[in-house]
Amino acid sequence: MSVIRDSTATLSRQLGTWSVVGLVIGITIGSGIFRTPAAIAQRVPDPLWMLAVWVVGGIISLCGALSVAELAASLPRTGGWYLYLREGWGRAAGFLFGWAELVLIRASATGAVATVCSSYALRALGIDASQLTVGIVAAAAIVIAAAINIRGVALGAAVTGASTVAKCTALVVLIAVAFLFGGTVGGTMDHFAPSGVGIGAGGLGLALISVLWAYDGFADVAFAAGEVRNPQRILPRAIIGGTLAVVGIYVAANMAYLYVVSLSGMAASPLVAADVARALTGPGGATAISLIIAISTFGSLMGISLAAPRVFFAMAEDRLFFPAMARVHGRFQTPYVAIAMTAGLGVVFVLTRTFEQLADTFVLSIWPFYGLAIAGMYRLRRRRSDLSPSFRTPGYPVTPAIFITAVVFLVGTAIIQDPVYTGVTFAIVLAGLPVYWFVARQASGFRPRASGLGKGM
pLDDT digits (tens, 9 = 90+) for 239-261: 788 888 888 899 999 999 999 99
Secondary structure of residue 228 in the 3-state scheme? strand
442 pLDDT band, cuts 50/70/90, is low
252-261, 343-352, 435-444: range with lowest mean pLDDT: 435-444
Check residue 8 and give its pLDDT. Answer: 39
What predicted TM-score, i.e. pTM, was given to this entire model?
A: 0.78
308 pLDDT band, cuts 50/70/90, is low
52-56, 161-165, 385-389: range with lowest mean pLDDT: 161-165
Q: What is the mean pLDDT of the chain?
A: 82
Rounded Cα distance between 15 and 315, Å, is: 22
2 pLDDT band, cuts 50/70/90, is very low
Secondary structure of residue 15 in the 3-state scheme? strand
pLDDT in tens, 110-124: 898 899 899 989 988
Rounded Cα distance between 128 and 252, Å, is: 29
pLDDT in tens, 123-145: 888 888 788 899 999 999 999 98
Range of 177-191, 192-206, 226-240 with top mean pLDDT = 177-191
Query: Which of 76, 84, 14, 16 is closest to 457 using CA atoms?
Result: 76
DSSP symbol at 9: P
**CA distances from residue 295 to 73, 114, 166, 225, 444 in whole angstroms, order as listed:** 32, 11, 8, 26, 46
Torsion angles phi and psi, residue 78, rounded to 5: -60, 135
For residues 299 and 447, which has the higher predicted lDDT (pLDDT)? 299
Mean pLDDT in residue range 18-40 = 79
Check residue 218 and give its pLDDT. Answer: 73
24 pLDDT band, cuts 50/70/90, is confident
450 pLDDT band, cuts 50/70/90, is very low
370 pLDDT band, cuts 50/70/90, is very high
Residue 276 has pLDDT above 90, yes or no: yes
pLDDT in tens, 375-425: 999 999 998 888 877 778 889 999 999 999 999 988 888 888 889 988 999
Task: Assess contact for 106 and 99: CB atoms under 8 A.
Answer: no
Rounded Cα distance between 342 and 370, Å, is: 20
Check residue 453 and give its pLDDT. Answer: 33
Residue 99 has pLDDT above 70, yes or no: yes
3 pLDDT band, cuts 50/70/90, is very low
| CATH architecture, domain defined by 12-442 | Up-down Bundle (1.20)
Strand partners, 329: 3
Rounded Cα distance between 366 and 291, Å, is: 30
Mean pLDDT in residue range 325-347 = 79
Range of 73-82, 98-107, 132-141 with top mean pLDDT = 132-141
155-159, 277-281, 424-428: range with lowest mean pLDDT: 155-159
177 pLDDT band, cuts 50/70/90, is very high
Check residue 387 and give its pLDDT. Answer: 81
310 pLDDT band, cuts 50/70/90, is low
Secondary structure of residue 55 in the 3-state scheme? helix
Residue 286 has pLDDT above 70, yes or no: yes
Burial class (CB in 10 A: 0-12, 13-18, 19+), 15: buried
2-16, 64-78, 213-227, 407-421: range with lowest mean pLDDT: 2-16
Strand partners, 49: none
Query: Which of 247, 254, 275, 251 is closest to 191 using CA atoms?
Result: 254
- How many CB atoms lie under 10 A from the CB of residue 114? 35
Domain-wise residue ranges, the chain? 12-442
Check residue 307 and give its pLDDT. Answer: 64
